[in-house]
Structure 1
Amino acid sequence: MNPRELLQALTIAERLKDTTRHCYTSKGRHESVAEHSWQMTLMAFFMKNEFPEADINKVIQMCIIHDLGECFTGDIPTFLKTKEHEVSEENLLNDWVESLPKTTRDEMLSLYKEMKERKTLEAKIYKAIDSLEAVIQHNFSDISTWSENEFDLNLTYANDRVTFSEYMCALREEIRKDTIEKISKGEEELKNKDKESI
Structure 2
Amino acid sequence: MTHLSALLDFLRAAEALKHTTRVAWTSTGQQESVAEHTWRLCLMALVLAPEYPGIDVGKLLRICIVHDLGEAIGGDISAALQVHMPDKAEQERKDLLTLCAGLPEHTREEIVALWDEYAQAATPEARIAKGLDKLETILQHNQGAMPDDFDFRFNLQYGATYTTDDPLLRAIRALLDEETERRAREQEARVGSSRSAT
Normalised to the residue count of structure 1, the TM-score between the two structures is 0.89
Where does residue 120 of structure 2 map in the other structure?
117
CA separation of 1:176/1:10 partners in 2, compared to 1, >3 Å: closer, same or farther? Answer: same
Matches within 5 A, 1:131-146: 131-146=134-149
Confirm or deny: 8 A CA contact 1:143 1:186 kept in the other structure.
no
Confirm or deny: 8 A CA contact 2:17 2:72 kept in the other structure.
yes
Query: Equivalents in 1 of 2:195, 2:99: separation in Å?
Result: 52
Deviations 1:118-148 (A, max 9, x none): 131100001001111111111011243553x
Confirm or deny: 8 A CA contact 1:59 1:122 kept in the other structure.
yes
Gaps of 5+ in 2: none
Where does residue 25 of structure 2 map in the other structure?
24
Where does residue 164 of structure 1 map in the other structure?
165
Deviations 1:15-54 (A, max 9, x none): 1001111111111121001001001000001101111111
Q: State the 1:87 CA deviation.
A: 2.4
Q: State the 1:13 CA deviation.
A: 0.6
Letter in 2 for 1:42: L
Letter in 2 for 1:138: H
Where does residue 153 of structure 2 map in the other structure?
152
- Aligned alpha-carbon RMSD (Å): 1.9
Query: Equivalents in 2 of 1:171, 1:140: separation in Å?
Result: 15
Gaps of 5+ in 1: none
CA separation of 1:145/1:101 partners in 2, compared to 1, >3 Å: closer, same or farther? Answer: farther
Deviations 1:84-119 (A, max 9, x none): 333222112123324311221121122122112213
Query: Equivalents in 2 of 1:170, 1:146: separation in Å?
Result: 28
Q: Aligned residue pairs: how many?
A: 195
SS at match of 1:119: coil
Q: Which shifted more, 49-58 or 90-99?
A: 90-99
Aligned partner (choices 90, 95, 100) of residue 92 of structure 1: 95
Where does residue 127 of structure 1 map in the other structure?
130
Letter in 2 for 1:8: D
Query: Equivalents in 2 of 1:29, 1:142: separation in Å?
Result: 8
